[in-house]
Structure 1
Amino acid sequence: MRDVYDYYEGGGLWCILCGNALWILETLFVAVLLTFLGQCVDYSQIPKSRSLSEVVVPQCTRKISGLWSFGIWLYAFFFIWKCVQYCAEIPRLIHIREFYIHLLEIPEQDMQTVSWQDVVARIMALRDQNPKTARNVPARLQQFIGSQSKERLDAHDIANRLMRKENYLIAMINKDILNLSLPVPFLRGRQLFSKTMEWYLHYCILDMAFNELGQVQQDFLRSDRRRLLSQKLKQRLLFAGVLNLVFAPVVLAYVMVVYFFTYYYEYQKDPKQAAARKYTSLAEWKFREFNELPHIFYERLHMSYPFATRYIDQFPKRMTEDIARSIAFMSGAITAILALGSILDSELFLNFEITKDRPVLFYLGVFGAVWAITRGMVSEETLVFNPEYALRNVIEYTHYMPDHWQGRLHSFEVKQEFSELYKMKVVIFLEEVMGIITTPMLLLFSLPKCSDQIVDFFREFTIHVDGLGYVCSFAVFDFQKGPGNTGQQAAHQDVREDYYSTKHGKMAASYYGFIDNYVINPKTGIPGHLPPGSRPQFHPPPAFPGLNSPTLAADMQGSHMGRAETGRARSRAPAGRGPRAGAAMPQPSPMASVLLDQHHQPGGANTTARSLYWSRHPRGGYRGESQIIEETEGSSMRRPREDDELYEPGGMLGESTWETSPAKGVSRENSAANTDEAEAGVLGLIYQLHQPQRPRRGGGMV
């Protein structure tokens, strides 16, 4: 399954081959360029020379230093190894290509445009053609096959297979299992997480916890092996720290050179990009949800960037803006004078030296860059100050709101916390450079102290699922809670549930995010489980008449406010629905999985109220898991029938009345789709007479 996803993410056979070849070519270009600049150029001859041939050292390859020659030989072996590796992958890529073309019926030219949900739907349709994994067989036969076969393949299982390792890392970061701080006074309490640290966490922890088949090692599940595994993990961390110290200079030089070559032209062309921001590596892992594939996560994250930038710009920075505005005025005036002089007499003026060896062209670039940077620091005049609204727009996409942010979204403290997650790209690069230096210290001093907690985490938060293997317990979305306790037992139960649950409602957010990504409304074709009435709709502003117009009052009724009131009244009226007898029965969803069972939905027995509450509130109103429970229980008691009348896309999440891409539909006989009960009265009797016989919710026939 990993090969299938990597092939999809790579965009097909030719895109993968082209990307591999270009990456090898880029590394070769960097190696040759650095060798030429470092060993083949006599920089002392540049002031006296006028051509490149006069400064190039003849036969420079014979005069290369021993250390540089060693580096060239290392790169040569690396280059040959990668070429052989990429060539050896070609037969496997061709095999996967045949799988996509002949079994999934997805041609090569569609690989860059097809959605992953469509690929999953076709895989599940293919599953139903296999007797070992089919779901469209009689119940008794399916039960027998299920007892013999341990293979499971639905949308939830596929995501669990692909995210098996990453789910553990998401959970460890969410529960603060990893100690990523150094015992240094000025760095105490600061989490130092970089791409280098992320790579070593995969190498030291995840590669040790999983075997070559991608399953959790059995020793991690045994409490009597705790001390032995903890010692092995400490040794592995210490070895990685020493290894990082050895290769730190090479990695540091490579990162700085690649960053300079990548972003120099971008910053020169648009100096305002120097102040651009992005999420840190730690923020990405905090925002990542269980079973969320990389391409889906980055799509969600990238949509939050405009709102995050607007939120940061919301807070007053009057002194900074005043200083930037003054510097922009002065630098702009000097730039304008120099530009005007170059226009009047470009030949003479551009070669005119303002200072020694510094012509006008040099200062045009300097003052122009200063003007662009300072102008970018000044906020727009039309910006409306409302930080709480801006941050809620960010939370709608990041799904991250700690409990202590409640009621404080407008505060400067929350802004500082968010700024630690959303930093300038230049600052993130400097932190990545510093991370190459701090990572060995973390591996040598900080992480070995929490090795016992890491081993305990894998033992206590690993469960076995038949047909899937060992997975992180949070990834199965099991919201089933035991019977309520009272008194002292309830207090102990709360402590236990707090330990065995995620922070900030991470599991609930992951569940709803998974439903949003893999479920499509058959009536509207809109991804997500939200009913059409709950989705924000755009209403163009009406043409506003003059004050003397006699139709002003009527036009006011037709405005957005009037539509909102009438829309709410209309949504509660059952007469707004179309005729039931003529409606086509939606195709069952091939995404129906164990995820849609009742115990996988938050609240256990309160699944109806929970899912309806969430569907009535878009993601902009994201709240913690506890608040969802409290509000939905009350709302379900107040409106027992209103939600039934308001929302009729096919019933509960437990009913397979949703569909994915229609490219490969599943027959009606293969479904366990349920329908709403017939309404009472004459219309209900007529509706029952026109409906074909199908199983009702209670198991009877209509």
Structure 2
Amino acid sequence: MERTGYQSLTSSPAELDENPPEAQENDVVFHVVPDTSKNRWNHVEDLDSFFTRVYYYHQKHGFLCIVLQECFELIQFIFVVGFATFLLECVNYPKLFRNDGTTANNTAKITIPEVIYSTNVCVANFGFPMWLTLVVAFIFWIIRLIRVIRNTFLNLEIRYFYQMALGVQDCELDNLTWYDVQKRLREVQREQQMCIHKQELTELDIYHRILRFKNYMIAMMNKNLLPIKFTVPVVGEIIFFTKGLKYNLEMLLFWGPWAPFENNWHLKEDFKKVSKRKELAFSLANRILWVGLANLVLAPLIFLWQILYSFFNYAEVVKREPGTLGMRQWSRYGRVYLRHFNELEHEINGRLVRAYRPASKYMSIFTSPLMAVLAQNIAFIAGAVFAVLTALTIWDEDVITVEHVLLVITTLGSIMAVCRALIPDEHLVWCPEKLLTAVLAHVHYFPDHWKGQAHAAKVHDQFAFLFQYKVVYLIEELFSPVVTPFILLFYLRPKALEIVDFYRNFTVEVVGVGDVCSFAQMDVRKHGNPTWQTTTFNDMDGSGSDHPSNNNAYTQAENGKTELSLVHFIHTNPEWRPPMDSGNFLTNLKERATRDAVNLPTVMEENALLSSLTSMSSLGNEVLFCVA
């Protein structure tokens, strides 16, 4: 089914990593007219925010779910701060652990009130660092509360829009796909002119509005403009792309104060002028400097929050299922690297969910015989001790009161879970090429040098950047407050001029949409990769000669992202009519696929695009023949 609902914002990046749309200070989303009928939407001033909220409202299952989720997040923040403060300042730990001298020889049980300080004593224990932390937390919570209240009123307006303009009640949302909602949006545009610059809105116009900044981020990642790959001595190459780093990048490059965008839909005019490039680069570098220093100053508080939140969120899960941290998930970097241009969140979620099982199998077949032998023997010893302690506890419950017995049992259980994860499944079959091809059928992208090398340890290690252990994700997020400032100061800041040039060279103005990333136009002539085209179509303009994409290494998207994004978009929006060049490309692709079907293995070896398309087993022939 097309629709994949938004997950908790506190979940791993394998789930949803999108924040709900925040109302900006200068946002005026609606132009309200005196008429209270559905004609009140005849001019929406900020269509980006409007369409984003319409999409978010659909994916989050309606008004009540959205409001409850945001309210519970406020309550959760209060709980984490309050409970952490209580544990740090209001518990008499010497008495709890019988280390205060007064209860050392006393065998009587200690009650909870005895180890909790009174309110006056608890408050008196607060030092300056604690008061500073509480003040900062309170200010942050108040700001968040104001945003929640503002978002609630905006979502009330969206609910009214669904009911009056789209004719959809909240109880009906789960029965409609986004494609259905989008069709109704286009009908409302024809009736009411939400966008006054165009008579009709296409599917691509709506996607551009929702994914304007996301497309820029995908393009920057595709062109290796963002500093996320680093070489660490001894360790080698690593990729570091956490939620904190992503937030700072988006704030600097898209929506924050003094960002390159004048508003949600328009890039500042100076960024389009070559003469201003050095001046703008200097200004951007200074902003990155100040943001980096601010991150450095706030790093202790953010680091403390990360520790507390991780402990409260994952301690019970690890205790109940220690093997959870040994499971894998799609990394935050992988979700951006593997994303098509103009691909909504539920669409990429669906692809990655389908790719999860073959990806897990592929990573599981790479085992170390030495580690397996060690794990088997360690698991045997730990299991024996664990069994004895468990049996004694069942025989006499007083055994559990012996000092550190519960800790030993818990530790042994965790050791066994980790060892089991290191022991290969005896039923696994060594077929790396087939498994990686099955993964490619859904993710669609991988570097060219992986071809025919699925068995290599280097490919396995690089794929691990896309499909990482949960424990690796937790460690990265935990240390993100410490690492992020240095990335901003020493790696992003020197790229200020390249970023300014990127905006100037790859921004186009679309009527009725505003400024968008030119890669998101999916223009195969301008941004296509010739190696993905020359054997797929030879005559785009009817001249009778080879006519590959008119571009160079700087302007072309890597790994065939333009071509595959175009095919994916026409598959998810079959009624969309592409421009002439893209339409010719799709027509030639269909004809070539039909003509060479009998020679498919040979063609796949020669052409990267056809190789990727024919490997999309989950979509079958529909991918090749829906592009007419």
TM-score normalised per structure 1: 0.71
Q: How does 1:587-602 map to 2 (within 5 A)?
A: 592-595=575-578, 597-601=579-583
- Tell me which residue corresponds to 2:452: 407
Match of 1:509 in 2: 564
Q: 1:151, 1:468 within 8 Å by CA — same for their partners in 2? A: no
Find the partner of 2:464 among 419, 430, 442: 419
1:272 matched residue in structure 2 = 323
Q: Match of 1:45?
A: 95
The change in CA–CA distance for 1:61 and 1:650 in structure 2 (over 3 A counts) is closer
Q: How many residues align?
A: 543
- 2:117 is aligned to 57
Residue 8 of structure 2 is matched in structure 1 by none
The answer to whether the Cα contact below 8 Å between 1:332 and 1:371 also exists between their aligned partners in 2 is yes
Q: Is 1:446 aligned with 2:496?
A: no
User: Are the counterparts in 1 of residues 84 and 308 from structure 2 also a CA contact under 8 Å?
Assistant: no
Tell me the secondary structure at the aligned position of residue 516 of structure 2.
strand
In structure 2, C-alpha distance between the alignment counterparts of 1:240 and 1:61, rounded to whole Å: 34
Give the structure 2 partner of residue 27 of structure 1: 77
Deviations 1:530-567 (A, max 9, x none): xxxxxxxxxxxxxxxxxxxxxxxxxxxxxxxxxxxxxx
Residue identity matched to 2:57 = Y
- TM-fit CA distance, 1:610: 5.2
**Does structure 2 conserve the Cα–Cα contact (< 8 Å) formed by 1:174 and 1:502?**
yes
Counterpart secondary structure, 2:509 = strand
- How far the C-alpha of 1:328 sits from its partner, in A, is 1.7
Q: CA deviation at 1:113?
A: 4.3
Aligned to 2:45: none
How far, CA to CA, are the matches of 1:631 and 1:264 in structure 2?
Answer: 41
Q: 1:6 to 1:609 in 2, by over 3 A?
A: same
CA contact (8 A) 1:479 1:601 kept: no
Question: Structure 1: where are the runs of 5+ without partners?
Answer: 134-147, 520-591, 633-646, 655-702
The share of aligned pairs that are identical, in percent, is 28
Give matches, 1:154-303, under 5 Å.
Answer: 154-181=202-229, 185=233, 190-207=238-255, 208-303=259-354
Question: Could you tell me how far 1:127 is from its partner in structure 2?
Answer: 3.1
> How far off is 1:186 after superposition?
5.3
Q: How does 1:576-595 map to 2 (within 5 A)?
A: 592-595=575-578
Q: Deviations over 1:644-690 (max 9, x none)?
A: xxx99998745xxxxxxxxxxxxxxxxxxxxxxxxxxxxxxxxxxxx
Q: Separation in 2 of the partners of 1:45 and 1:132?
A: 67
Residue 683 of structure 1 aligns with which residue?
none
Match for residue 588 of structure 2? 606
CA contact (8 A) 1:399 1:622 kept: no
Aligned to 2:14: none
Write out aligned runs for 1:503-652 (5 A).
Answer: 503-519=558-574, 592-595=575-578, 597-601=579-583, 603=585, 606-609=588-591, 627-628=608-609
* Per-residue deviation, residues 346-366 of structure 1 (Å, max 9, x unmatched): 245445x5xxx233x443333
Shift of 1:69: 1.8
Segment drifting more, 328-337 vs 445-454: 328-337
Change in 2 beyond 3 A, CA 1:612/1:171: farther
Is the Cα contact below 8 Å between 1:477 and 1:601 reproduced in 2?
A: no
Q: Within 2, Cα distance between the matches of 1:290 and 1:63? A: 54
Q: Which amino acid aligns with 1:78?
A: F
Q: Which amino acid aligns with 1:263?
A: Y
User: Is the contact between residue 181 and residue 446 of structure 1 (CA under 8 Å) also seen in structure 2?
Assistant: no
Preserved CA contact (<8 Å) 1:210 1:217: yes
Describe the SS at the equivalent of 1:423: strand
Structure 1 residues 366 and 316, CA, compared in 2 at 3 Å: closer, same or farther?
Answer: closer
Quick one: structure 1 residues 623 and 121, their matched pair in 2 at CA, closer, same or farther if it must change by over 3 Å? farther
Answer with 1 or 2: which has the greater Rg: 1
User: 1:345-494, aligned counterparts within 5 Å?
Assistant: 345-347=395-397, 349-351=399-401, 353=402, 357-359=403-405, 361-480=406-525
Alpha-carbon distance change, 625 to 204 in structure 1, aligned in 2, over 3 angstroms: farther
State whether structure 2 residue 169 is matched by structure 1 residue 107.
yes
Q: Which amino acid aligns with 2:123?
A: T
Choose from 358, 364, 367 the match for 1:313. 364
The match for 1:554 is none
Partner of 2:198: 150
Closer/same/farther in 2, CA of residues 168 and 6 from structure 1, 3 Å limit: same
Which string of whole-angstrom CA distances, capped at 9 and with x for unpartnered residues, describes residues 141-195 of structure 1? xxxxxxx943652211111111111111111111112233568655775443222
Read off the aligned partner of 1:26 and give its amino acid letter. Q
CA RMSD of aligned residues (A): 3.5
Deviation at 1:342, TM superposition (A): 3.7
Tell me, in whole angstroms, the C-alpha distance in 1 between the residues paired with 2:612 and 2:129: 68
User: Letter of the aligned partner of 1:593 in structure 2?
Assistant: W
Shift of 1:88: 2.9
Paired amino acid for 2:588: N
